[in-house]
Amino acid sequence: MNDGQEIEALERVLARVQEKNRSYRRYNFSEAQNAVLRAFFDLAQEYDSMDDFYRVCVAVPRVMLGLKVRLYLLNERRDTLELLCDSESGVVSPPVPVSGEMELSCRTQARDSSLLVPIQRKTSLYGGGAESRSVADLVLGRLEIAGGAEMDKAVRFFLRKYANRVGYNLHNRLIAQQNIRHLKFINNLVADIEHNVITPNMYFRHLFNKLRKRLAELEEVSQEFSHMRQTDLCDGEACGLVQQRLEAIYDELAANHREMQEHYNNYSLFLESLFRRDHFRKGHLVLRPRACSVEKEVIAPQLEHYGNRLVKQGIKIDQPRDMAEEELHLRVDVGLLSQVYANLFSNAVKYTSSVHDHNGETVKLMAYGREHLIDYFGPGRDGIKFNVFTTGEHLSEREAQMLFSDGFRGEAGQGKPGTGHGLAFVKQVVEIHGGVVGYEPTVMGNNFYFILPLSADES
């Protein structure tokens, strides 16, 4: 900003201060009323928590003016007005929704014996005055003054100004909270990307090394074949052996290509589901649900992706027949739910260990399946429980309690690659689908599960 622009900006602020000075003279508030505004301002800066701020909003007029005050605010979805604090009983937890039709107004109104004073956000947020915005945009809630219906015009005017200061402070706090949530989300999303995209991306190096080895073999065979032709050594048997080697290398290259294509498809799916513009714009994961067969479109691709690694670790895979035979279509975000199974199967590769079954035989096993839970989420609201079981020692009670906490790694994870973020991500994705996650020790091992709600048209 140059000197001329700074002078212009200063002049605008000076003019606004002069305007405020004239307004305060015109208001002609009493000393007691001015003291209320000063006390509210001081205390609003003193307390950091939202609950304390709510208490200040109703306590100041109670102590300094002898008023009984209730604070109502719209919920986050802005579809329900809720009682949050009462000057007689304090913070209401949980908030109590207002019964009946929700009425919003930018005007102070009398209802029964009470006075309803609107709480509005800063109109400057929109670059215009209150008249340029709808009531739904401007109103955050209201103060209810018990017995205030008969108050005169001057007192009503003061209470409106007091409610304005509540609204401006509340607006700033909500913006600050939103920014903090946004930053936390970005930090978590960075961890999600590192865990589910960047780390798996290193697997491409392994695939490229395998491909390079096959190409080197192909070059070697090509040179041998060229030498044989030049020295007239390419008889039927010798050429047959070369052909067999070429066919074997071709098969391995084709398998490498399939594995790379599969890894690329998986990688692309994860990138799409984590780098959506809506995530960054809204500051939280935004679902793109669609009806899908969880077995075919979510579990099977991830099982194919991790199958070789499970087998290489000597882990037998127990696949339930009923899931494939009895298709169940749920509305889920395929990309995010796929990452849930990727995390669970990846953990199975790392942590499954051998145990002895009831016949005394050594078993190293991973199994998955599902159960239909009647009325799990309430009357008429069934749930589907998805299980991933692995053999091994049971987790300790402390580990079981901390399992889905971000950054937590149990004793089995010491010395193994990982960040402790995977199960926290699983919990986050399942919960935004309206479900719950859990762990339970079972015979011969551990079951990790999540339960998703089943709507009536999906059952």
Q: For residues 67 and 281, give the distance between their C-alpha atoms in angstroms, rounded to a whole number.
A: 42
Averaged over 387-405, what is the pLDDT? 92
Reported confidence tier of residue 283, pLDDT bands at 50, 70, 90? confident
Percent of the chain surpassing pLDDT 90? 42
Is the pLDDT at 458 greater than 70? The verdict is: no
CB 47: neighbour CB atoms within 10 A? Answer: 13
Beta bridge partners of 386: 370, 450
Is the pLDDT at 364 greater than 90? The verdict is: yes
Is the pLDDT at 257 greater than 50? The verdict is: yes
Is the pLDDT at 418 greater than 60? The verdict is: no
DSSP classification of residue 406: T
Q: For residues 218 and 190, give the distance between their C-alpha atoms in angstroms, rounded to a whole number.
A: 41
Q: Which residues, including other chains, have CB under 8 Å from residue 182's CB and lie 6 or more apart?
A: 283
Mutual angle of helices 153-193 and 3-27, in 10-degree steps: 140
User: pLDDT at position 106, please?
Assistant: 84
Rg (CA), the chain: 33
Q: Which amino acid is located at 316 in the chain?
A: K
Averaged over 138-158, what is the pLDDT? 92
Task: Return the minimum-mean-pLDDT range out of 145-159, 238-252, 272-286.
Answer: 238-252
Reported confidence tier of residue 413, pLDDT bands at 50, 70, 90? low
User: pLDDT at position 340, please?
Assistant: 94
DSSP classification of residue 111: E
Averaged over 7-31, what is the pLDDT? 85
Phi, psi at residue 338, to the nearest 5°?
-60, -35
Reported confidence tier of residue 122, pLDDT bands at 50, 70, 90? confident
Reported confidence tier of residue 320, pLDDT bands at 50, 70, 90? confident
Question: What length does the chain have?
Answer: 459
Is the pLDDT at 176 greater than 90? The verdict is: no
DSSP per-residue codes, 40-84: HHHHHHH--SHHHHHHHHHHHHHHHH---EEEEEE-TTSS-EEEE
Q: For residues 229 and 240, give the distance between their C-alpha atoms in angstroms, rounded to a whole number.
A: 13
Averaged over 388-413, what is the pLDDT? 85
Query: The dihedral of CA 257, 262, 266, 269: what is its sign?
Result: positive
Reported confidence tier of residue 134, pLDDT bands at 50, 70, 90? low
**225, 242 in Cβ contact below 8 A?**
yes
Q: For residues 234 and 120, give the distance between their C-alpha atoms in angstroms, rounded to a whole number.
A: 91
Burial zone of 54 (CB within 10 Å; 0-12 exposed, 13-18 middle, 19+ buried) = buried
Q: Which amino acid is located at 319 in the chain?
A: Q
In 3D, which of 8, 102, 85, 13 has the Cα closest to residue 51?
85
Beta bridge partners of 438: 449
Task: Return the minimum-mean-pLDDT range out of 32-41, 256-265, 390-399.
Answer: 256-265
Q: For residues 275 and 186, give the distance between their C-alpha atoms in angstroms, rounded to a whole number.
A: 11
In 3D, which of 311, 380, 388, 317 has the Cα closest to residue 347?
388
Is the pLDDT at 456 greater than 70? The verdict is: no
Which tens digit of pLDDT belongs to each residue from 210-239?
A: 777 777 777 777 777 777 766 766 666 767
Q: The whole model's pTM is what?
A: 0.56
User: pLDDT at position 136, please?
Assistant: 62
In angstroms, the first-to-last Cα distance of the chain is 63
Tokens read off for 417: 């690659």
Task: Return the minimum-mean-pLDDT range out of 95-104, 123-132, 257-266, 382-391.
Answer: 123-132
Mean pLDDT of the chain: 84
